[in-house]
Amino acid sequence: MSIELDGRLFQLRNELDDHSRVARYLGLDFERPIKSLGDGYPENAIALVGKITERILKQLWRHHNIPGDPGGKALNDLIKGAQPHIRSANVIDALRDIQRLRNRSAHDGYEIADEDGLAAVRRLLDVLAWFSSTGSGILSGDVPKLAPDVAVKAEFLAGLYVTLGFQPVKRFELSRNTVYQLFFRERGLRSEYVELLLSKSVDDVIQVLNATNGELLQTQLPKLTRFLILEEDGDTRASSPFGDDYRVLTYDRFMDAFVDLDRHLSDVVGSYPELLDAGRLAISGDLLTTDESTGEQQVTRIGAADQLLDEVAASGGNLLIVGRSGSGKTTLLKQLVARSATASRRRYRFYFDMSLKRPEEPFREFVTRSLTPYMAVESTHVFDVFNYFARAGSVLCALDGVDEAVPSTTQAGFLELFTEIAQVLSAESAVVTSSRVSFLEDSPQVRRLLDGTALVSEKLVQQLHAQGVNPLLVPRFSALRLHDVASGATPLEKRLAEALDLGRESGLPRLSELAWQRIIEVTPSKLLPSVISYFGAAFLRGRTVFSFVDLVNELGIELFEDGRLAYDSFRLRPLFRVAGPSAVTFAHCAYQELLAAEHLREPDARDALFDAGPRLTEQVREFLYRRADGPASTDDCVLPAGVYLVGPSHHLMLKRVERPVRFDRFPVTVARYNRFLEAVRAQGSQEWDHPAKPVQSSHEPWQERLRLQDYFTNPAYENHPAVCVNYWSAYAFARFEGKRLPTSLEWEAAARGSDGRLFPWGDDLDLSIVNSADSWSGRPLITYEAWRSELDRGGLSHAMPGPVDAHPGNVSPFGVREMAGNVWEISGTVLDELNEVVICGGSYDNPYRALQTSSKGLFRRRGCSNAVGFRCVEEL
């Protein structure tokens, strides 16, 4: 063993000796990992540190009455369960480092060095030091003579100053209601001391100090900050035993020494003043939880949204508010934080506009930038202090518009952001976020993560690890889904109608028309094309905040009255709000999303954005459809080459179709397929077969699978889609007709057109023009549970494919018929490694929500089904 290692082990042994009371109380041997390091076995030292950590965490489980028996749980499960009850981010990081080191040492292929063993012991010391520094007796069994509520408050105060980099110097428990604490830190050549005296009242302090002849406060320490913290409300200006160098605060107002809450809330309200004049808006919602077996959302409560939010604020927990654009999410959140003055719990409430989070900016830096003007601590400690307050359950944190801050609108993008947000969550915290409905409804795996009662499955854990996301960091949320208001108009639509002097009567235009009218009203006509191009492209590239200088450089000085670069002279001011010194952002993201949709209507704009991976939201897609010129005029079934918007609403993207193709107007029918079979029976199929077609595979329909045995022989079904044929047969049939199968991209582009519609006929539901489970049931099957119930009770037992021309309204913008429902359609997109093919469009036994133009599935190449058919395309 080297002299250097011997010296470091000696130092660690001495530091561990400082925690001998913990060792005795929990029955731990701190000497064993040190001895293993000295003997040259760092992997054994790490394993022993892991065992000690498990014992510590089990003690935390029992102390906090965490549900479940910690006895047989692994280290990662113990960390996950105890994490919400640990106030220190440093302790959480230390526990994760220990877990990481133990995982590495337990796997072959990793070389474990002495430094790894030393790091494990050092991180164990960080855990022990926190509980010792804060005066917590959880690990040592020390029973303070303080009253329990006083002990908790003293622990909170100590933890705060430890977070700020102070070290505890003295701690005296002077009575059951009074405790003295002294902290110290070095700042360069300067020494700083903080002295705290926590007690019930001034009278209690005087009584205690009289008993000690006042010696406690007779200190000559430099740079001393003194606080007298009273637990009881009362006149904090009353006479006290301190001199003039003190500050008297009640405990529930102690954060006032660090946070200028009133100014923060004033700025929040002032940034969008009309939103808080919304008492007239009766916004209600459904409180949702997740079924653990299916992952589907279930409504557990219905009520006024503001009351449900207040309950969360009072009781703790994490909540996601979801609702369509303009439904009142921001209004509710700002009202929630503004009610802090009268709140009985969590008076300290913070609001963060996530749309102002810069691309690639870590959540920590965003919070620091947002709160530095309101916090009386160094900027390097702003996030740590906020995080500590949040993890201690002292605040309510409102994060507005999380879907505007994700690096990409994908499952991985949301998980990345929520992993960062997890830093401020605890068992007692109240974190309320908002997003749009599509985020909740269109991603079942993300939806499963958002419920506080759901357990993350092993499969999902593996997926998260594959995406580089630690499942232990993903927060748990319940959800509040806002109802559309009774009149059909959202709060945003009503405000726009008032601004446009349209009144508040029912039958208002859609948001797309109202917002467009407002943009035209405010924007000088000669600037409108430039405004569309600049702001639309900016949104698609993830930019939402604009400096005055940039606006002048891009759009010209005429954007400002009298050439004066100020918000009050900004000609587009009604569309914008202040976003910092000499910078603005749109008052509502819907304005910029509408401009993005207008920009995307130009083929050249799509072409320019194709390689940029643009930011495409569901609202942009809806605006693109609503602002389209109307029904397509083409009926030749030709899909032109070009760039198309495709993908599900939580993962929209631009994809290029390289060359034009003509689609079959209808899926391949029984009559057409029978002609193919006659040719095969007469001369074989070698000239049309796929090179990889299995030798034993036949092109005959799988007779045993057919629900109707005479389906291919009865003339009554000649105009029905050909089903129970596999990919190999569909491929051969297409070549028999001199065609090919469409790629899944071509299929979707042909179904949704250039305006990105949800269904081939548009965005609106019409069960009369589609063969789906809903049409067989006679009612919309909105949820998975409703569809499953209908299936289980036999309500879909008679559902089957129908004639391919039975629904004239089921037509795409290019004249292609019956692309949604009836039968899934086999595409030419094959996943060779899985031996599966992509199928598109949904079928007669699927609910309408599964029939969207973006609907895809995987199907075995040799598979056959009554619900799967196909159609062909020819290249032009």
- Cβ-count burial 528-565 (b if 16+ within 10 Å, e if not): eeebbbbbbbbbbebbbbbebeebeeebeeebbeeeee
Nearest to 819 by CA among 781, 871, 768: 871
User: Is the CB of residue 586 less than 8 Å from the CB of residue 619?
Assistant: no
Stretch 576-603: mean pLDDT, rounded?
92
User: Is the CB of residue 23 less than 8 Å from the CB of residue 128?
Assistant: no
Q: What pLDDT, on the 0 to 100 scale, is given for residue 453?
A: 37
Say if residue 725 is exposed, middle or buried (CB neighbours under 10 Å; 0-12, 13-18, 19+): buried
Report the C-alpha gap between 19 and 28 in whole angstroms: 11
- Give the distance, in angstroms, between the CA of residue 609 and the centroid of all CA atoms in the same chain: 26
And the tokens for 847?
A: 């609910």
β-bridge pairing 317-322 and 583-586:
unpaired
More confident position, 299 or 198: 198
Q: What is the pLDDT of residues 428-457, one digit of tens each?
A: 678 888 887 555 444 454 444 444 333 344
User: Is the CB of residue 234 less than 8 Å from the CB of residue 200?
Assistant: no
User: Is the CB of residue 429 less than 8 Å from the CB of residue 391?
Assistant: yes
> DSSP assignment of 18-38, as one string?
TTHHHHHHHT--THHHHHHHH
Q: What pLDDT, on the 0 to 100 scale, is given for residue 289?
A: 66
pLDDT at 422 over 70: yes
Domains of the chain, by residue range, sit at 3-133, 148-257, 261-482, 493-627, 661-875
* Rounded alpha-carbon distances, angstroms, from residue 345 to 160, 254, 282: 19, 14, 24
- With a CB cutoff of 8 Å and minimum separation 6, the contacts of 22 are 28, 56, 128, 131, 132, 139, 140
Determine the angle formed by the axes of helices 363-371 and 411-421, rounding to 10 degrees.
50
Q: What is the pLDDT of residues 264-275, one digit of tens each?
A: 988 888 776 554
Report the C-alpha gap between 251 and 609 in whole angstroms: 55
Q: What is the pLDDT of residues 152-205, one digit of tens each?
A: 899 999 999 999 999 998 888 888 888 989 999 988 778 888 988 898 888 787
Stretch 3-16: mean pLDDT, rounded?
81
Report the C-alpha gap between 220 and 601 in whole angstroms: 74
Domain at 661-875: CATH architecture? Alpha-Beta Complex (3.90)
Report the C-alpha gap between 583 and 746 in whole angstroms: 43
**For all residues of the chain together, what is the average pLDDT?**
84
And the tokens for 569?
A: 């002279």
SS3 253: helix
Q: What is the pLDDT of residues 694-737, one digit of tens each?
A: 988 899 999 999 999 999 999 999 999 999 999 999 999 999 99
CA within 13 Å, CB half, 789: 8
Element (DSSP H or E) covering residue 868: strand 868-870
Report the C-alpha gap between 410 and 648 in whole angstroms: 10
pLDDT confidence of 585, banded at 50, 70, 90? Answer: very high
Q: Worst-scoring range by mean pLDDT, 211-225, 456-470, 565-579, 862-876?
A: 456-470
Of the chain, the percentage scoring pLDDT greater than 70 comes to 86
CA within 13 Å, CB half, 815: 12
User: Is the CB of residue 90 less than 8 Å from the CB of residue 159?
Assistant: no
pLDDT confidence of 112, banded at 50, 70, 90? Answer: confident
Query: What are residue 392's phi and psi, to 5 degrees?
Result: -85, 0
Q: Worst-scoring range by mean pLDDT, 86-95, 366-375, 686-695?
A: 86-95
* CATH assignment, 3-133: 1.20.120
Q: What pLDDT, on the 0 to 100 scale, is given for residue 218?
A: 62
pLDDT at 276 over 60: no
Q: What pLDDT, on the 0 to 100 scale, is given for residue 838?
A: 95
Q: What is the pLDDT of residues 591-612, one digit of tens each?
A: 999 999 999 999 899 999 988 8
Report the C-alpha gap between 188 and 530 in whole angstroms: 53
Q: What pLDDT, on the 0 to 100 scale, is given for residue 720?
A: 97
More confident position, 748 or 467: 748
**Superfamily of domain 261-482, CATH level 4:** P-loop containing nucleotide triphosphate hydrolases (3.40.50.300)
Domains 3-133 and 261-482 share a fold: no
Residues pairing with 186 in the sheet: 191
How many CB atoms within 10 Å of residue 369? 17
Length of the chain (residues): 876
User: Is the CB of residue 418 less than 8 Å from the CB of residue 474?
Assistant: yes
Report the C-alpha gap between 871 and 669 in whole angstroms: 9
Show the beta-strand stretches assigned E in 305-428: 317-322, 348-353, 395-400
Report the C-alpha gap between 304 and 311 in whole angstroms: 11
Q: What is the pLDDT of residues 322-350, one digit of tens each?
A: 888 888 888 888 888 887 666 666 678 89
More confident position, 486 or 351: 351
Report the C-alpha gap between 424 and 387 in whole angstroms: 5
Q: What is the pLDDT of residues 845-872, one digit of tens each?
A: 998 888 999 999 999 999 999 999 999 9
Q: What pLDDT, on the 0 to 100 scale, is given for residue 862?
A: 93
